Amino acid sequence: MVALALSACLDAPPGATVEPGEDGGALACTWLDPEVLDSPTSIGGPTVDRTETMLVGEESDLRLYERDTVGDGFGNVGGIVDSLNTPDVEASPSLSPDGNDLYFTRGDRDFLADVWVAHRGSSADPFGPAQMVVGLSDPDISESGVAVWDAGGRHEIFYARRVDGGQADIARAVCSSRTVCEPSGSYPGIDSDADEVTPTISGDGLDLYFVRYGEGIFFAHRLGPDSDFEIADERPVLGTAGDVSYLDPEVSEDGETMYVVVYEVSSDTYTIRVSHRTCE
């Protein structure tokens, strides 16, 4: 998916990305209002979806849900991730593209968390013991909202980084192995006065979605794996408004479907909803 600067199409709606059409023209692409997913519901935490599998952080533990086809509801599957849960808070799960490395955060209830990883031999196997990721376990830094992408055989980890209780920014780390990663700092082209958290990355590694607290879900693009991400438009693709706050986005491999946790203030409830991308 290749995004262009919004100035290429001044009539594009707020939060739209502009992409080349087959006839050489420009298409304005937007995300539709999210619809409530039949199941699971009442989940407060990030999601990971790879078509038929959804991992969630639910009530301080990891849970795995599966479905037979895209149109079905998700059902709880026990045993696959249960061994990873501890008295601490496990959250922000993210699967590697092959589905065999599970990165997540583990920390206390004051949201001071480190990044951990568990490995399995195949999708039919349970995950083995979790290991703390070297380079993402600084006691003065809280990491959250992990997203992982495979860049030519190496993992890139995107996460929200909060130093000494300060502002949260989106940061990146490059891993020499699944358990050793080297942080490379935050992105000046994304940083703002708000907290940026819970990133998710597209299947091609070029599009990054994340949340700005109090504002909604934003979109950034890079030209290649070695380029920096830049905000395509300083307006959210899904904006927080009224009773609804959008949290924890997860974009499908093809970039056309987004799962998002929605918090409704009046009822104090969380639900998982699904949005689809349309271009015209």
pLDDT tens, position by position, for the chain (280 residues)? 333 333 333 344 555 666 655 555 567 888 988 887 765 543 434 344 443 456 666 667 887 776 666 656 666 565 567 788 888 888 888 888 788 888 888 887 656 788 999 998 987 788 899 999 999 987 777 877 788 888 777 789 998 888 777 888 999 999 999 999 999 888 878 888 888 988 988 888 889 999 998 899 999 988 888 888 888 778 898 888 888 888 888 887 778 888 888 888 888 877 778 888 888 8
Domain boundaries, the chain: 6-279
* CA atoms within 13 Å, Cβ hemisphere of 119: 7
Q: d(Cα 149, Cα 122) in Å, to the nearest integer?
A: 18
The amino acid present at 83, given as its one-letter code, is S
CATH class of 6-279: mainly beta
Q: What is the DSSP-derived secondary structure letter of residue 241?
A: B
Sheet harboring 168-177: ordered strands across? 141-151, 154-163, 168-177, 180-186
Closest CA to 259 of 204, 205, 213, 198: 198
Question: pTM of the full predicted structure?
Answer: 0.82
Q: Which residue has the tokens 């349309």?
A: 278
